[in-house]
């Protein structure tokens, strides 16, 4: 005999049932536990025997059994129902409640439902913002007529379930995105004497994670490589692609002599990297010793130079190279821009300057207009944000925005360098001294001598002060009237194992006017002086 829903006419009972699924205590449960608890409750309040949730796999178009009460086999066996087929498939396709009074083989695809002897079924779609996430259905072993009130109640539960699942999926995607972001954006920017680097990445509000990326790394020669790129497309796939391109570019840059060769190599690799998107790239080397920026633009927006006199101009790109990966007749060609002390260099992506209602050149002109306060700002991150705010002018960013601001110190007044005591640090120390001594107008010969002495003192610290765990090196230098004063400190004790150490001290004493080496438990300090000629 056919039963109807219990106490359907009683409004108080209907309210009680509603409160069971709206229970605030459920808010504290994890998404998995919430799903379980809601299935238990829905089975109870509808006096049903089975309750199950199937989630839609968008790639395969199948509904996959994810949680069930009274039908646990369904989950264990991983039941999959194609969209539009069978009972659950029909609920998902029609996006509305479906009731089956008496189950027969023609309208139920799931063998477990048949084997269990389920007689009646009601199913509702799990919807978030009109998108079907899956299906919730309950069933009874005895034949039963589900009412509109049952359908409404079940739809309410479905909303709750959908929301919980949506939060969980969103959470997963957000976590994955963050992990991926770490693969295409540097975790920290390198410390480079004479340069200050500031980066900003602003994802677009709507399509989510987008195709912009940047990279900064110090080459073995001590010069600094900068990359700013833009992959057409959004989402996890674009993010993964950016990660691959970033790594490939690093590898290419280490093996060649100049930026254009590196970009040529990367371009040839694009096919291997399986890239079909349009990728623009600006790649260049800042060499503070040569005071120049050598760069290649592969279809990217031009770098902006902000000069000490407050004038800003876009670096000339004489070549108009195409984006990467589209095949081209000529090798990528590069430009060389002189960088005077106190200049700032801005690399960015087109999201910063493009608006739907105006041309690119208008956007570039607006950027030029707001750029001056970014140069050598006491708070560069705030200056960048302020420039972005005024460019967006209250709009939400339609595309990702990435910016890299490189400030060249106005003039080096001295040296205060604290770095890891590593052999690779030695070239960094030499570069800092070359630039400073050149700013001071010290003759080449004297400059060579000071660098020889500083090099030996630093090499001693690197080679002899620490064990395998390494340590730090602190180099200070100033010019007092006519004397250059240099201090090199470490936190270890020089081991007197190697014969070369005596040679280092001989060199220091020969090229400097005075050398003092103090060793204590706290470390070794070398203090040296060199008088400047004719001052």
**Nearest in space to 177 (alpha carbons), one of 249, 244, 234:** 234
Q: Is 490 exposed, middle or buried (0-12, 13-18, 19+ CB in 10 A)?
A: buried
Compute the distance between CA of residue 86 and CA of residue 115 in angstroms, rounded to an integer.
15
Packing angle of the helix pair 500-511, 444-460 (nearest 10 deg): 150
Q: Looking at 288-338, which runs of residues are DSSP E strands?
A: 292-298, 304-306, 312-314, 335-338
For other proteins, the closer CB: 277 or 334: 334
Quote the least distance from Cβ 519 to other proteins, whole Å.
Answer: 19
Quote the least distance from Cβ 172 to other proteins, whole Å.
Answer: 40
For other proteins, the closer CB: 127 or 421: 421
Compute the distance between CA of residue 263 and CA of residue 113 in angstroms, rounded to an integer.
60
For other proteins, the closer CB: 409 or 422: 422
For other proteins, the closer CB: 54 or 507: 507
Where does residue 235 fall: left (phi above 0), alpha (psi -120 to 50 degrees), or beta otherwise? left
For other proteins, the closer CB: 292 or 416: 292
Compute the distance between CA of residue 147 and CA of residue 99 in angstroms, rounded to an integer.
9
Quote the least distance from Cβ 195 to other proteins, whole Å.
Answer: 17
Residue with token string 């295409």: 184
For other proteins, the closer CB: 128 or 218: 218
Quote the least distance from Cβ 430 to other proteins, whole Å.
Answer: 7
Quote the least distance from Cβ 254 to other proteins, whole Å.
Answer: 5
Quote the least distance from Cβ 531 to other proteins, whole Å.
Answer: 18
For other proteins, the closer CB: 22 or 256: 256
Angle at 170 between CA 168 and CA 174, to 5 degrees: 115
β-strand pairing of 224-231 with 472-480? unpaired
Q: List residues binding other proteins (CB under 8 A).
A: 219-223, 253-259, 285, 423-424, 426-427, 430, 448-449, 451-452, 455-456, 459, 462-463, 500, 503-504, 506-507, 510-511
Quote the least distance from Cβ 216 to other proteins, whole Å.
Answer: 15
The percent of the chain in helix, strand and coil, each rounded to the nearest 5, is 40, 25, 35
Tokens of 27: 């808010």
């Amino acid at each position: 005999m056919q039963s109807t829903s219990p106490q359907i006419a009683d409004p108080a009972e209907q309210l009680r049932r509603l409160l069971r699924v709206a229970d605030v205590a459920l808010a504290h449960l994890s998404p998995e536990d919430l799903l379980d608890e809601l299935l238990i409750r829905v089975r109870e309040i509808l006096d049903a025997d089975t309750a199950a949730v199937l989630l839609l796999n968008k790639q395969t178009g199948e509904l996959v059994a994810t949680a069930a009460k009274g039908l646990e086999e369904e989950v264990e066996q991983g039941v999959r129902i194609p969209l539009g087929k069978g009972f659950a498939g029909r609920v998902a396709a029609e996006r509305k409640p479906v009731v089956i009074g008496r189950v027969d083989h023609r309208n139920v695809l799931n063998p477990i439902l048949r084997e269990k002897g389920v007689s009646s079924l009601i199913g509702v779609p799990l919807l978030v913002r009109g998108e079907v996430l899956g299906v919730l259905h309950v069933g009874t072993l005895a034949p039963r007529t589900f009412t509109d009130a049952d359908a409404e109640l079940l739809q309410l539960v479905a909303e709750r379930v959908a929301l919980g699942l949506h939060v969980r999926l969103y959470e997963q995607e957000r976590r994955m995105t963050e992990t991926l972001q770490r693969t295409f954006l540097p975790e920290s920017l390198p410390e480079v004497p004479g340069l200050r680097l500031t980066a900003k990445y602003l994802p677009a509000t709507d399509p989510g994670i987008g195709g912009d990326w940047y990279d900064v790394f110090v080459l073995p020669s001590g010069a600094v490589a900068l990359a700013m790129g833009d992959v057409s497309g959004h989402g996890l796939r674009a993010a993964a692609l950016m990660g691959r391109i970033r790594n490939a570019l690093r590898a290419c840059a280490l093996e060649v002599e100049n930026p254009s060769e590196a970009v040529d190599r990367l371009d040839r690799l694009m096919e291997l990297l399986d890239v079909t998107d349009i990728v623009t790239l600006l790649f260049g080397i800042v060499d503070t010793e040569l005071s120049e920026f050598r760069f290649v633009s592969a279809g990217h927006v031009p770098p902006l130079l902000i000069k000490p006199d407050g004038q800003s101009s876009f670096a000339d790109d004489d070549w108009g190279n195409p984006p990467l990966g589209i095949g081209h007749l000529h090798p990528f060609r590069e430009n060389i821009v002189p960088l005077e002390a106190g200049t700032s260099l801005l690399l960015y992506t087109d999201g910063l300057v493009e608006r739907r209602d105006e041309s690119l050149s208008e956007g570039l002109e607006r950027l030029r207009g707001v750029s001056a306060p970014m140069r050598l700002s006491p708070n560069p991150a705030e200056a960048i944000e302020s420039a972005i705010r005024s460019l967006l002018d209250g709009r939400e960013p339609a595309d990702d925005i990435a910016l890299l601001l490189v400030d060249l110190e106005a003039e080096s007044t001295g040296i205060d360098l604290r770095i890891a005591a590593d052999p690779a640090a030695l070239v960094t120390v030499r570069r800092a001294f070359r630039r400073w001594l050149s700013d001071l107008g010290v003759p080449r010969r004297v400059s060579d001598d000071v660098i020889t002495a500083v090099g030996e003192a630093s090499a001693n610290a690197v080679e002899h002060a620490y064990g395998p765990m390494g340590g730090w090196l602190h180099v200070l230098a100033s010019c007092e009237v006519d004397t250059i004063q240099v201090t090199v400190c470490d936190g270890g004790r020089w081991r007197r194992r190697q014969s070369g150490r005596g040679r280092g001290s001989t060199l220091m004493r020969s090229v400097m006017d005075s050398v003092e080496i103090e060793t204590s438990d706290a470390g070794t300090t070398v203090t040296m002086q060199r008088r400047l000629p004719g001052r």
